[in-house]
């Protein structure tokens, strides 16, 4: 399950920022997850519950901001939402959409004490 390695790196980033802020406890970690990042949100939450134990993020809440997929059609120039890779343009049905947004996976902010 690759969500576990993602959660590990989220906690690493958050722990590093907490250390820099001389914090003892992380209360909240806010992350951005794109619809096309290939990440299962329920699996991410499940792994987070398991991985945060015995760490500085033991009490942390994981707040997930989902970013919708957005694609640009090179044939007709329209932008459309997309839920999966290689989606065909819903406007002209002539071309495959180029991804403009939705691949992101990053830590936006943490709240510490
Ligand atoms: Zn098109």
- Tell me the per-residue pLDDT of 14-55, one tens digit each, with 9 for 90 and over: 999 999 999 989 999 999 999 999 999 999 999 999 999 988
**Residue 84, in any domain of the structure:** no
- Domain count for the chain: 1
- H-helix or E-strand spanning residue 65: strand 61-67
**Residue 3 corresponds to which tokens in the numbers above?**
């969500």
Strand order in the sheet with 79-81: 79-81, 70-72, 98-101
**Residue 82 corresponds to which tokens in the numbers above?**
């997309």
**Residue 55, in any domain of the structure:** yes
Q: How far is the CA of 104 from the centre of ligand 1 (A)?
A: 24
Q: pTM to 2 decimals?
A: 0.85
Q: What is the DSSP letter of 24?
A: S
- H-helix or E-strand spanning residue 59: none
**Residue 48, in any domain of the structure:** yes
Domain that includes residue 7, residue range: 2-68+102-112
Say what the pLDDT of residue 36 is.
95
Q: How far is the CA of 35 from the centre of ligand 1 (A)?
A: 20
Q: How far is the CA of 90 from the centre of ligand 1 (A)?
A: 7
Q: How far is the CA of 18 from the centre of ligand 1 (A)?
A: 46
CA-to-CA dists, residue 8 to 5, 14, 15, 47, 51, angstroms: 5, 10, 10, 9, 7
């Amino acid at each position: 399950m690759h969500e576990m390695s993602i959660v590990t790196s989220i906690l690493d980033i958050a722990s590093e920022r907490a250390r820099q802020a001389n914090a003892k406890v992380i209360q909240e970690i806010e992350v951005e997850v794109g619809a096309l990042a290939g990440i299962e949100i329920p699996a991410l939450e499940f792994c987070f519950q398991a991985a945060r134990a015995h760490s500085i993020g033991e009490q942390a809440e994981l707040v997930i901001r989902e970013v919708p997929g957005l694609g640009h059609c090179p044939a007709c120039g329209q932008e459309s939402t997309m839920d999966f890779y290689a989606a065909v343009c819903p406007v002209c049905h002539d071309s495959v959409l180029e991804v403009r947004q939705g691949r992101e996976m990053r830590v936006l902010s943490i709240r510490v004490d």
